[in-house]
Each structure stands twice: as C-alpha cells, then as structure tokens.
C-alpha cells in the first residue's frame, strides 16, 4: 500500500528528521522516530542513495525515505493506518533471512577458564564450540 508515492515533508528536526509530513492529502505528526538508516549502492547514473525513517504517528507506523540523488521524499511502507480501508502488516526485514536458518543447529559459546601465565589469578575467555 502506497509504495513509492510522493510525500511532502513540511517540518524537519535537525534539518533531516521528519516531524510533519503530508501523504495522500492527510497531515501526519510524528510522535517518535524509531529507526533511521541509509542505503547506498551502485555508481554513476544508476546510483541509489536513500535515507529511510521508521516513524510512529497517531494514525499508524510509516517507513518513508528521502531519495538523496533526486532530492525527493517517498513512502516506503505504511502499516496500521487508521481510517484506511487497506493496511499492510509491517514485518522486520530480517525475519525472511532468519527463516532459512530454521533447520541449522545454532553455534553455542562456552566459557573456558585458563591460567594466565602473566598473572597469579584466572582469566575468563570465550571460545566457540564447533
């Protein structure tokens, strides 16, 4: 729902954190910025450089991004938008990556206590078991 639609950011905190934005004619006041990250890949005319923001508003949770190459704000994802007929469930991006590791055994860390030749006492160190 609403992917890559234009967003007008009316007010920014510290010059880059969105505080008020307009999407589909509705104004949204940001209550909390949960996360901010940058994606950059490619070079030359195919360069992609975006700064993403996960925002909590009164009417839902939104991911918007600032396309730094085109200097344009866009909607990434919208979840739990109140007053909207359709809503998209927002899942963590890592969930799909972790699903592929379900059958693999986890590596465990164990603490090995060794004598330290330079000290009289014992020193803990971590080692991975295979």
Domains in the chain: boundaries: 8-90
Is residue 73 within 8 Å of residue 8, measured between CB atoms? yes
Q: What is the largest CA-CA distance in the chain?
A: 71
Q: How much of the chain exceeds pLDDT 90, in percent?
A: 47
Give pLDDT, residue 125: 45
Contacts of 13 by beta carbon, 8 Å cutoff, 6+ apart: 19
Query: Terminus-to-terminus CA distance in the chain, angstroms?
Result: 45
**CA distance readout (Å), 104 to 26, 98, 100, 107, 120:** 47, 11, 9, 9, 41
Give pLDDT, residue 57: 94
Give pLDDT, residue 61: 95
Give pLDDT, residue 108: 57
Give pLDDT, residue 114: 52
Is residue 113 within 8 Å of residue 100, measured between CB atoms? no
pTM value? 0.61
Structure tokens given for 32: 């909390």
Cα 65-61-48 angle, rounded to 5 deg: 15
Per-residue pLDDT of 50-88, as tens digits, reads 999 999 998 999 999 999 999 999 999 988 666 554 344
pLDDT means per 10 residues, the chain with 130 residues, are: 86 92 95 94 90 94 95 90 50 38 53 51 46
């Amino acid at each position: 729902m609403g992917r890559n639609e234009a967003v007008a950011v009316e007010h920014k905190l510290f010059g880059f954190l969105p505080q008020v934005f307009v999407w589909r004619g509705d104004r949204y006041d940001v209550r909390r910025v949960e996360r901010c990250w940058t994606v950059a890949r490619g070079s030359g005319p195919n360069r992609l450089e975006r700064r993403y923001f996960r925002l909590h508003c009164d009417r839902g949770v939104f991911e918007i991004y600032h396309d730094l190459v085109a200097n344009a704000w866009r909607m990434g994802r919208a979840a739990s938008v109140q007053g909207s007929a359709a809503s998209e469930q927002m899942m963590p991006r890592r969930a799909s990556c972790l699903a592929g590791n379900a059958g693999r055994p986890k590596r465990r860390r164990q603490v090995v206590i060794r004598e330290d030749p330079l000290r009289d006492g014992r020193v803990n160190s971590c080692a991975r078991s295979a």
